[in-house]
Amino acid sequence: MVYSDLREFIDVLEQEDELVRVRREVDWNLEVGAVIRRSYDLRAPAPLFEKIRGYPKGYRILGAPLGLSYKPNRSLARLAMSLGFSPDAQFREIVEGYIARKKRRIPPIVVDTGPCKENIFIGNEVNLLSLPVPFIHEGDGGRYIGTWHFVATKDPDTHWVNWGMYRLMVIDKKTMGCLLRPDQHIGFHYYQKYEPRGEPMEFAVAIGNEPITSFIGAVRVPAEIDEAEVAGGIRGKALELVKCETVDLYVPAASEIVIEGVVPPYERKEEGPFGEYTGYLAKESSPKPIFKVTALTHRNNPIQMHSCMGVPVDDSAVVTTVVRAADILDDLRQKGFPIKMVYLPPEGVSHLAVISTQVPFANFAKHLAFSVWGSTCGRTTWYLIIVDEDIDPTNMNEVIWAFTTRCHPQRGIFSTGSSWSIPLLPFLSPYEKKNYLGSQVMFDCTWPRNWPPDEIPKKASFDNVWPEHIQKKVLKNWRGYGFGRDRERTFHTYSKP
């Protein structure tokens, strides 16, 4: 299904019992964040808050839009539906479908106006706190308006427009603070181009988009690639964009809320801390670039979209589970590696990957690891587990079994030593964070290629030790043995995840 806006997606979530309308009044100060966080913990439906203390009737907040589902065999239902798949779609189907769709490009269509223009406030009329911006975690540096959205900025030389998801804290009614790292595309635009020239960088923030648009803001798309075209390709239909009121940028016409303005050079204000995707609250605030707002537009009865980052699993972890796995898998296939599947457990907050592969030659795992770490999509995979093709990487029972029986505690573990990193990682020292230093490690859980075949232990599983006719007989007579339907599952051959 192709959604025209967020409201259509909300209707589908409700039809599939993946949404709860919270009709009792809630407080924007911590209560909203606590409910969203609890919904992740229980894998409960996404909460749609319909009555927020101190704000007009009709102003709403949607939390946990892509959180995991509690329903058996469809944990990725919300993500699957956001991409147009059946809610029952499994990991492999979603990954393969995403790989195919992201290769096509459908240019956006520019329209004269759209729902995001129903209310327009410019200059002194702007007041960010006219919206029910939540104070999410106790200990946050302020109220965060940007947690599930995208920020558009333009390269002043090539005019390439980048969409990215960067946290945005409200400082006052016309100012926001942003964690803007130099290794990100927005950081490249600002620190390498606008600021050295003494020029302000224009921005546009789109909140409450049809799901694929926000999804694209949260994933890595290579530089100089138009994210609006990628979104169109994944949707299978061109995205409608409309020009901003005060900056030379375009945003989805059906966005619920649009914030426009400039990031002036060399101006800083305190931003943070904030409960981050790693599952920890940052310890301190620091001076960061500021976003000066020149215009605010929104739909009638606007719906804010929020993620409550913290201990996994939240929306960010769900997205990276599929997208980062798909990107790494596609990259390795293009390089000719005999990969069967790649999986990023959502609890690993995108930093742990499990790769199932054939092993064509000795020391192959190390060769594979360097290829992953050397790629844009795999460079933040600090922990890499490589398993044989008979192991299902999505089945943690099998992965842990392979890890403890096939990974040699000495020769099976390889660390890069000092290498590039990002400062958000909690295990880094203050010095390492300041200097972007870290390390990466690979666990080789494959059988050594130079071992004689008869030295490789035989897998003692139902599908591997017993002859096929016995397997068929047992499966056919399973209920006759006295087992009920609730026990009719196998624990585990390599399944299709």
pLDDT digits (tens, 9 = 90+) for 2-25: 899 999 999 999 999 999 999 999
What is the rounded CA–CA span in Å between residue 328 and residue 330?
A: 6
Please give the pLDDT value at position 496. Answer: 38
Average the pLDDT over each of 23-37, 78-92, 352-366, 471-485 and give the range with the smallest value: 471-485
Known catalytic residue: 202?
Answer: no
What is the rounded CA–CA span in Å between residue 458 and residue 46?
A: 45
Q: Residue with structure tokens 């398993």? A: 387
β partners of residue 305: 62
pLDDT digits (tens, 9 = 90+) for 230-277: 999 999 999 999 999 999 999 999 999 999 999 999 999 999 999 888
| Chain mean pLDDT for the chain | 92
- Write out the residue limits of the CATH 2.30.110.10 domain(s) in the chain: 6-306
Q: CB–CB of 67/40 below 8 Å?
A: yes
What is the architecture, at CATH level 2, of domain 335-455? 3-Layer(aba) Sandwich (3.40)
Q: CB–CB of 57/51 below 8 Å?
A: yes
pLDDT digits (tens, 9 = 90+) for 145-197: 999 999 999 999 999 999 999 999 999 999 999 999 888 999 999 999 999 99
Please give the pLDDT value at position 490. Answer: 43
- Out of 240, 271, 276, 398, pick the active-site residue: 276
Task: Report the CATH number of the 6-306 domain.
Answer: 2.30.110.10
pLDDT digits (tens, 9 = 90+) for 367-394: 999 999 999 888 889 999 999 999 999 9
Model confidence at 492: pLDDT above 80: no
Entry field: residues in the chain: 497
β partners of residue 176: 170, 291
pLDDT digits (tens, 9 = 90+) for 452-491: 888 999 888 888 889 999 999 999 998 999 886 554 444 4
Two structure tokens written together for 37: 């966080």
The phi-psi region of residue 452 (left if phi > 0; otherwise alpha if psi is between -120 and 50; otherwise beta) is: beta
- Write out the residue limits of the CATH 3.40.1670.10 domain(s) in the chain: 335-455
pLDDT digits (tens, 9 = 90+) for 309-338: 888 899 988 998 899 999 999 999 999 999
Two structure tokens written together for 386: 């490589």
Cα 201 to Cα 122, 188, 248, 308: the distances in Å are 18, 11, 11, 28
Check: pTM over 0.75? Answer yes or no: yes
Please give the pLDDT value at position 283. Answer: 66
